[in-house]
Amino acid sequence: MKKKEKIIKILFVIVLILIILECAVLTNAIYKKIQLKRLQDILEGKNFSVLGDSLSTYKRYSDDYINANDTIGYNKNFYNDFNIINVNYTWWKQVADKTNMNLLVNNSSSGSKVVGEGFVSGSNYDEGIGIRSQNLHDNIGENSGTNPDIIAVYMGTNDLEASFTAGSYETIDFNTLIATDGVQYFYKEPSNFAEGYAIMLHKIKTAYPNADVFLMNMMLGSVYDTEMVIKYNDIITKLADHYNMNLVDLYNSKISEETTNEKYFIGDNIHPNKEGMKIISNAVIKVLEDKYLK
C-alpha cells in the first residue's frame, strides 16, 4: 500500500510540474502577443525603409522604380518566387506586416557593397543612378515626398565575402573623412570598411535626420572568416553608438548557430531560407520592442 501511495505521489508531482511548465509557456505566449500589440499601436502607419544587399531583395519590391523611388530600377534581385516562394517570407516584409508599418522603399541590390566595386552605398561613387543611402524616401509613388520614419540597414555581407580590409572605428579620422563648407558635405574616398560604413551612416543621418535607424550586424556563416566577422561587427557596434543608432545583433542570434546546413539557409550558407528569415525578423522586432516599449 505504501508503495502504491509513493507512486501516486510521484505521478502527482510529475503532473503538477507539467501543468506549471504548460502555464509558463502559455503565459510567455500571451505576454509576447501583448507586447506585439503594444508595438503595433505605436508603429502603425510609420514609414519603413530598407538599405541592403541580396539578403534583403525581392523582385518587384527592391527594384520598384514606379511606386517607390525612381533610382532603384537597376537594383539586382536575388530572391524571387523560386528560392523563397513568397515575398511575405522575407525578413523585412515580416517586420513591416507584423508591426503594421508601411513599407516605403526597399533599396537593396544583390552584390552591393559598402565599399569597393559594385552598387556602392557608402562611398562618394553613385553607380550612375544616385546614392542609395540617400534614396530611402518615396519620390514617385502615392507617398511621393515622404521620408522614412524607421530605416533598417543590412549591409556588409559582400564586403565580408570579398575579405575587404576592415579597418577600425578607432582609426577613423572623422574630420578628414567628412568635411563641410557649411552648405554641403564632402566625403573622402574610403580606404576600408570602417570608413565606408561611417560615410554611409552620415549620409543617412543627414538625409533623414528624424528617422530612427537600426543597424544589423553580420551573422556567422561557414563561408566567412570568423575573425573578420568579429572585426566588422565591432565597427558596426561602435558606429551605431557614435551616430546614436540602434543595433540588431544577428551575430548572437539563433541563425548563427547553424551555418553549415540547410536548416536556416537555402544551401549556400549565405542566403537565409524561410526559417532563417523568421529568425532575422524576430531579432529586428525584439530591438524595436526594446526601443519603443520602454
List pLDDT tens digits, range 40-66: 999 999 999 999 999 999 999 999 999
Q: How far apart are CA 229 and CA 10, in angstroms?
A: 50
- Identify which of 74, 75, 70, 73 has the alpha carbon closest to the alpha carbon of residue 57: 75
- Identify which of 135, 141, 116 has the alpha carbon closest to the alpha carbon of residue 50: 135
Question: How sure is the predictor about 293, in pLDDT bands with cuts at 50, 70 and 90?
Answer: very high
> Does residue 61 contact residue 49 with C-beta atoms inside 8 Å?
no
Nearest 5°: phi and psi at 104? -90, -65
Query: For 114-134, what is each residue's pLDDT tens digit?
Result: 886 555 554 444 433 348 899
Q: How far apart are CA 62 and CA 211, in angstroms?
A: 20
Q: How far apart are CA 135 and CA 128, in angstroms?
A: 13
Of the chain, the end-to-end C-alpha distance in Å amounts to 57
Q: How far apart are CA 38 and CA 190, in angstroms?
A: 42
Q: Quick one: pLDDT at residue 270?
A: 87
> Does residue 232 contact residue 218 with C-beta atoms inside 8 Å?
yes
Domain residue extents for the chain: 1-43, 45-292
Q: Quick one: pLDDT at residue 176?
A: 93
Q: Quick one: pLDDT at residue 126?
A: 40
Q: How far apart are CA 294 and CA 290, in angstroms?
A: 6
Residues 240-245, mean pLDDT to the nearest whole number? 98
Max Cα distance, the chain (Å): 93
Q: Given 3.40.50.300, 3.40.50.1110, 1.10.3210.10, 3.20.10.10, which CATH number is that of 45-292? A: 3.40.50.1110
Q: How far apart are CA 89 and CA 275, in angstroms?
A: 9
pTM: 0.87
